[in-house]
Amino acid sequence: MGEPFIKFEHVYKRFGQKGIYYDLNLEIRRGETITVMGPSGCGKSVMLKMLIGLIPVDEGRIFFDGDEITKMNDQGLCGVRRRIAYLFQGAALFDSQSVGENVAYGLAEQFYDRMSPDEIAARVAQALALVGLPGIEMMRPSDLSGGMKKRVALARTLALQPEVLLYDEPTTGLDPINTARINYLISAIQDALHLTSVVVTHDMGTAFSVSDRLAMISKGRILAVGSTDEFRATTEPFVRDFIDGRAPHGEDVATLLANS
């Protein structure tokens, strides 16, 4: 199998008195789509932000393509961030800019001295076509539906031609039709571009439809990792309850409310 492309090794993280991770260990293979699942507030998005150095770890190490991210200075992290694109949960489009300007934003920031305006425009057009929205460069985010905003945000990440794409709750707030559309795009883009994709979600439909492997977080650790078939067949109580949408065995209503 070789060395993992991305590796979390004995990672600990807390914010004040709240512990998030206690000995987090996870290996991600080059070219796979892995979905990280877990209840709200368990630290799924924190994992992504630690990977790109936006949040420092308290203990442990994170590796990307053989290099230790947790020892890098700002210059080293900038190099990593050029290879990893992040699709934010809320799309994070700039309302004051057109769609084309939004998609071009990262290119203008990272490659301002290496790409001409015509090259940037061509890259923007290519990225919008990949997400099924060709020719909308002049539209404004305020003119777009929620699903279209997500797709424009995805186009902005694809314009950077990353090696790794991080999806933070890509279907949150979408209706079933747009959820299915985003799920299809994640799979289609993976087939076309052969990226390494990390999807954070608690939507089991998304998890099962886009993933090569799944990882479940519980109590600050990775509880289970495996294929979609292995997860469908699991008898591990917490994973089974999460997949089936049931309250954890043995917890009363007061406990559930206290932990929500």
Q: Dump pLDDT digits (tens) for 178-222.
A: 899 999 999 999 999 999 999 999 888 899 999 999 999 998 999
Q: Count Cα neighbours of 135 within 13 Å in the Cβ-side half-sphere.
A: 0
Structure tokens, 194: 């052969």
pLDDT at residue 146, rounded to an integer = 86
Break the chain into its structural domains and give their ranges.
1-83+164-171+191-260, 84-161
pLDDT at residue 167, rounded to an integer = 94
What rounded mean pLDDT belongs to the chain? 89
Question: pLDDT tens-digit profile of 53-71?
Answer: 999 999 999 999 999 999 9
Q: Contact 102/150 with Cβ under 8 angstroms?
A: no
| Domain 1-83+164-171+191-260, CATH number (from 3.40.50.300, 3.30.2010.10, 3.30.9.90, 1.25.40.10) | 3.40.50.300
Whole-angstrom distance, CA of residue 85 vs CA of residue 82: 7
Instruction: For residues 97-112, give the mean pLDDT.
Output: 86
SS (H, E, C) the chain: CCCCCEEEEEEEEEECCEEEEEEEEEEECCCCEEEEECCCCCCHHHHHHHHCCCCCCCEEEEEECCEEHHHCCHHHHHHHHCCEEEECCCCCCCCCCCHHHHHHHHHHHHCCCCCCHHHHHHHHHHHHHHCCCCCCCCCCHHHCCHHHHHHHHHHHHHHCCCCEEEEECCCCCCCHHHHHHHHHHHHHHHHHHCCEEEEECCCHHHHHHHCCEEEEEECCEEEEEEEHHHHHCCCCHHHHHHHHCCCCCCCCHHHHHHCC
User: What pTM was computed for the model?
Assistant: 0.89
The residues, any chain, with a CB within 8 Å of residue 202's CB and separated by 6 or more, are 37, 38, 39, 40, 44, 169
Confidence of residue 26 (pLDDT cuts 50, 70, 90): very high
